[in-house]
Every structure is written in C-alpha cells, then in structure tokens.
Amino acid sequence: MNYSWNWGILFQEPYFGWLISGTGWTLAVASAAWIIAFVVGSAIGILRTTPSRLARGFGTAYVELFRGIPLLVQLFLWYFVVPELVPHELGMWMKRDMPNPEYTTAVICLGLYTAARVAEQVRSGIESLGRDLVYAGLAIGLTPLQNYLYIRLPISYRIIIPPLTSEFLTIFKNSALALTIGVLELTAQARQIENYTFQGFEAFTAATVIYLVITMLVVFIMRIIERYTKVPGFGAGAR
C-alpha cells in the first residue's frame, strides 16, 4: 500500500472548518429530531396503554408503519414523494421556499421514525409497573389521568432511561443518512474533504473520532442521570 499520510491536512482551512461545521449540523439534526421523537413517541406510547381500543389501534398502526419501513426509504419518501402528493402550492413551498428544506425534512423524518421506537420504550416502561400501582392510585382517589401524571409516568420514565439513551445514540448515528438529501453533516463533510484532498483515511478517521467522543460524552452524562434517578425495586437489577 503506497499511501501518503497527511494528518496536518485536517487542521488546515477550509477542511478544519468543514469538520466543525459538519459536527454542528450533525448535532443540530440529532437534537431537533430527538425532541420530535420524544414528544411524539411519548404520546404514542401512552396511547398504547390506554383502555381505548381506538387509541391503542392508532398507536399500534403508527409503530408498525414507521418501524417497518427502512429509514433511508422514509427519507426519500419525505423529500421526493410527499411534496408531489400534497396540493401543488404546498408542494412547491416544501421544495423551494421552506427554510432549509433538506435539514427540515431530515429532522421530521428522523424524528417520526425514532418516535416509533421511543413509543415502544414508553409502553414497556408503563406496562412493567404492573397493576398493583394502578389499583393503589385508584384506591386513594386518583382519576386515571392523575394516575398517569403522578404515578405511572414519573416512575416509567426513570426506569427507561437506559433504553432511551440507546435511542438517542441511534438517532445521533442515523443522522448520517441526512447526507443523502444534501445535509452537509459530519459524514458528508468527511466525504467532501476526501474528494478535495484524496486523504480519505484521515478525513473519515477524524469523523469516527468525533462520533465516538460525542457518543461517550452522552453515555457518561446519562449514566450520572440514571444513578440519581434510579427507582429502588424497578429496572435492571431489581429484586
């Protein structure tokens, strides 16, 4: 292998700036998509635990639809197909006039896709509590809504912090697919550096290190949160 290593190229402009910009866009896509995923996923997950058959059916349909289609296919559907299906004026706005259409599409798609996975985490957390706590809440006079607000949800969210951490890491890594519709996130910038300098090993090594550092930082923070919010008797290691 006759390859000329040049790590210094990563610290030259504009390549260093491209890596910084790519990291920023990766964090922006992942963070905004996570907010959508958490809010929508929580609502869907709660619907799947309610007594209403209609609500449970809607929640199940959402989960199966979004979880059953590959993320890359959904990304192309949202970016290329949906604007053609909506009314003409709205479609033209989505393609040309919507602020940063590539970024907005990536965030919505990634958020709704991950929401289906978050919904399953929320549902499993609520159902893991069993019926004793539900009956105890009803016995002291709480309404079903108050039972969710004061007992089931506070405990459930503390139990599912580990799987939610995994989902956040997954959404962070899945954000790399946004490059397929033109978002210049970290992987796209590494590829651009390779195209301009032919130093592909250095560019993608730098991207790998940045991904790894951010991932380890998220895991470290979430473990601290998990330690201080752990519910005795629930979750992993509960007896």
CATH code of the domain made up of 13-229: 1.10.3720.10
150, 133, 164: which is closest to 226 by C-alpha?
164
The answer to whether 23 and 94 are in contact (CB under 8 A) is no
pLDDT in tens, the chain (239 residues): 677 787 888 888 888 999 999 999 999 999 999 999 999 999 999 999 888 899 999 999 999 999 888 999 998 988 888 888 888 888 888 877 888 888 999 999 999 999 999 999 999 888 888 777 778 878 888 888 888 888 888 888 888 888 888 888 888 888 888 888 888 888 988 899 888 888 888 889 999 999 999 999 988 988 888 888 777 666 555 54
DSSP code of residue 175: G
Instruction: For the chain, give every domain's residue range.
Output: 13-229
Beta carbons within 8 Å of 191's beta carbon, 6+ residues apart: 179, 203
